Amino acid sequence: MKKNKIHFIIKTILLPLLGGITLTAQAGVNPPWSEGRNNPVVQRGLEFTVPEVDNLPDFHGDPMGAQLSIFVGGNYFFAMAPLVTAFEEEYPALKGKIYYETIPPGLLFDQIHQGGTITVGNMTWTVKADVYAAGLKRVSALDNDGLLQGPVVSYATNQLAIMVPKNNPAHIQTLSDLGKPGVKLVMPNPEFEGIGRQIKAALMKAGGPDLVQEVYVHKVHTGETQLTHIHHRQSPMTLMKGLADAGVTWQSEAIFQEETGNPITHVEIPATQNATAIYAAGVVKGAPHPQAAQAWVDFLKSPKAQAIFAHYGFKPYPEATDKSSILR
């Protein structure tokens, strides 16, 4: 019954939400791939966006007038627009008053520890987070630091995939292929991005410490592996520019790129070599809007939200293909 209900929601609610919000035909190499349509603000004033020069693809809405501020790890940035739209339908008083950031979860973690202050280029602003959503380990760490109130709520899982340019010109088929000489890679930097830990675990399963060393040490030294600070933007951009042959990302990110019409595809990683991440969220201690924050956290487990996640390949928690592969 639960799956049938989710399928019904996908057909009757999700598809209209996705149409015209996040999907664009041939969106292009440079973000924002939504071309600004993911901004939840109703009155936008002067429109000024110059691709590659002046754009802030991971900051959405009006931080000054927000009545709900969500700090969410960027690996499902593409799902946030339909999630926000569906949430606003249930809470119309919040329409146009939601602000959210989708930079890597470790950076959001640091921003919360800095009191919500962040600097991008010449601009500095402060936003007190109401909700922090990221991998379970990172959210639990914030809770252990005494910066969350209420329970940590797990709501979805995701798996890794190998993102490659369309037609897969380097003929990448397995994780082991990433260690071959001459194969150029774009990989998340474990220092900044939590996905790096999961990728290393998957490489260990596929080829042992030698493969991990080749991909993350030797090829970095030779220049065949480029390390990213924000892989959900940099990895597809690097692949589309022809500067790399492959990169490990979340499966959902590859599905999004394919749906936008960008020249990207992906190679699936078998369950025996994959790693499953758990996504969790919690209300930040001292949240300016605690009721709205709790409503968002509860919403993430709702049938509407789960249908949106399912569209991009996420599975509901605790359902997972292989429980032994879960990295908390």
Q: What is the pLDDT of residues 30-39, one digit of tens each?
A: 655 556 677 7
Q: How many residues does the chain have?
A: 328
On the question of a common fold for 2-157+278-327 and 158-268, the answer reads: yes
Distance CA 56, CA 312 (A): 23
- What's the mean pLDDT in 296-305? 98
Distance CA 111, CA 131 (A): 13
Q: What is the pLDDT of residues 165-187, one digit of tens each?
A: 999 999 999 999 999 999 999 99
pLDDT of amino acid 39: 79
pLDDT of amino acid 23: 41
Q: How far out from the chain centre does Cα 86 lie?
A: 18
- Predicted TM-score (pTM) of the model is 0.83
Fold of 2-157+278-327: D-Maltodextrin-Binding Protein; domain 2 (3.40.190)
**CATH superfamily for domain 158-268:** Periplasmic binding protein-like II (3.40.190.10)
Share of the chain above pLDDT 70, in %: 86
pLDDT of amino acid 261: 92
pLDDT of amino acid 51: 73
Q: How far out from the chain centre does Cα 150 lie?
A: 24
Residue closest to 49 by CA, chosen among 65, 68, 33 = 33
User: What is the pLDDT confidence band of residue 44, given thresholds at 50, 70 and 90?
Assistant: confident
> What's the Cα-to-Cα distance from 47 to each of 28, 61, 301, rounded to whole Å?
20, 13, 35
Q: What is the pLDDT of residues 188-243, one digit of tens each?
A: 998 878 899 999 999 999 999 999 999 999 999 999 999 998 898 899 999 999 99
H or E stretch at 55: none
pLDDT of amino acid 46: 86
pLDDT of amino acid 110: 96
pLDDT of amino acid 56: 87
- Which amino acid, one-letter code, is at 188? P
Distance CA 59, CA 207 (A): 38
Domain ranges of the chain: 2-157+278-327, 158-268
